[in-house]
Amino acid sequence: MPQITIVDYGLGNLRSVEKAVEEVEGTPKISSDLQDLRIADGIILPGVGAFRDAQANLSRLTTTLLEQIDSGKPILGICLGLQLLFTESTEGGEFKGLDIIKGKVIRFPQGVKVPHMGWNTLNIKRENLPLLEGISSNSYVYFVHSYYGVPQNESDIVAETEYGVSFPSIVARKEVFATQFHPEKSGANGLQILRNFTRNLKR
């Protein structure tokens, strides 16, 4: 079974991600060890909390993480993990991200209730992505967030979701994939996405 390192940088619902990966026949390991990033078949970057704290906590791992991404190793960002992949975030100031997905993380506009919490649907823009095998537009997934990423390149947007505005809910660039929602909390649809990610590591 594929070895998947779930990055432990002190922020995230790691156990629920671990359990979901086990359910889709992956072999997860929660770790902050650089060697575990190097030997993994794939990496999951989860996260719950503030961008600034996450980036500070992640700094020790950043060089190795970027090396693994540059090598073509598949990575899946979840919620705050998606936002960390962007160039910068406006949450609580201006903070630099990993700059894998060119673009900026912004807050929902005034008049939109935050956080966006609960079930909402996907509007899939890019078909035939292995990550979305068995997932169709209007599939429900579970969100908890007040900020979202806006890619510079529209081609990085895989799916959008409506919540006062239309925002990117799945982004991808080469072997980097990320969901603004929590697949580990999204029932059968979320497990299918994690299953697709895991299966792709075997190919």
Looking at residue 36, its amino acid is D
Residues 65 and 58: their CA atoms lie apart, in Å, by 9
The one catalytic residue among 18, 88, 145, 182: 182
Is residue 88 among the annotated active site residues?
A: no
Span between the terminal Cα atoms of the chain, in Å: 12
The two tokens of residue 97 are 């991200």
3-state SS class at 98: coil
> 26 Cβ partners below 8 Å, 6+ apart?
1, 2, 3, 4, 42, 194, 198, 201
The one catalytic residue among 18, 79, 88, 91: 79
The one catalytic residue among 88, 91, 160, 184: 184
Is residue 145 among the annotated active site residues?
A: no
Q: What distances in angstroms separate CA 15 from CA 19, 28, 29, 97, 124, one per listed residue?
A: 6, 10, 10, 25, 29
CA 55 from chain center: how many Å? 15
Annotated catalytic residues are 79, 182, 184
